[in-house]
Amino acid sequence: MALTGVLRPGHVQLRMLDLDEGVRFYRDVLGLEETGRDAAGRVYLKAWDERDHHSIVLRQADRAGMDFFGFKVASSADLDRFEAELRDDGLKTERIPAGDLLETGERLRFELPSGHLIELYAEKTFVGSHFGQKDPKPWTPHQDRGIAPMRFDHALLYGPNVDRVLDIFTRILGFHLAEYVTLPDSDVKGALWLCCSNKAHDIAFVIHPEPGKLHHVSFYMESIDRVFRAADIMAAHDIKVDIGPTRHGITRGGTIYAWDPSGNRFETFSGGNSSYPDLPPIAWTWEGLGEGGGLDVAHRTMHETFLTVVT
Ligand code: M3P
Ligand code: FE
Contact yes or no for 169/281 (Cβ under 8 A): no
- Separation between Cα atoms, residue 75 and residue 210, nearest integer Å: 34
Domain ranges of the chain: 6-143, 151-308
Which is catalytic among the residues 11, 53, 116, 154?
154
Note if 154 is an active site residue.
yes
- Separation between Cα atoms, residue 282 and residue 305, nearest integer Å: 24
| Superfamily of domain 151-308 in the CATH hierarchy | 2,3-Dihydroxybiphenyl 1,2-Dioxygenase, domain 1 (3.10.180.10)
Of 199, 301, 296, 305, the C-alpha closest to 249 is: 296
Ligand 1 pocket member 275 (CB < 6 A): no
Ligand 1 pocket member 248 (CB < 6 A): yes
Intrachain domains 6-143 and 151-308 with the same fold:
yes
Binning pLDDT at 50, 70 and 90, where does residue 2 land? confident
Question: H/E element holding 163?
Answer: helix 162-167
CA distances 64 to 16, 43, 58, 262, Å, are 6, 15, 11, 6
CA 261–ligand 2 middle distance (angstroms)? 19
Looking at residue 193, its pLDDT comes to 98
Ligand 1 pocket member 295 (CB < 6 A): yes
- Separation between Cα atoms, residue 97 and residue 50, nearest integer Å: 24
CA distances 31 to 157, 185, 192, 212, 305, Å, are 24, 43, 30, 27, 26
Contact yes or no for 194/180 (Cβ under 8 A): no
Note if 257 is an active site residue.
yes
CB environment 48-68: b (16+ within 10 A), e (fewer): bbbebbbbbbbbebeebbbbb
CATH of 6-143, one of 3.40.50.360, 3.10.180.10, 3.40.140.10, 3.40.50.740: 3.10.180.10
Query: How do residues 191-247 score in pLDDT, each as one tens digit?
Result: 999 999 999 999 999 999 999 999 999 999 999 999 999 999 999 999 999 999 999
ipTM over 0.85: yes
Looking at residue 1, its pLDDT comes to 64
Contact yes or no for 251/223 (Cβ under 8 A): no
Contact yes or no for 116/40 (Cβ under 8 A): no
Q: Which of 179, 181, 193 best tests ligand 1's pocket when mutated (most atoms within 8 Å of CB)? A: 193
Note if 180 is an active site residue.
no
Query: Mean per-residue pLDDT for 254-269?
Result: 98
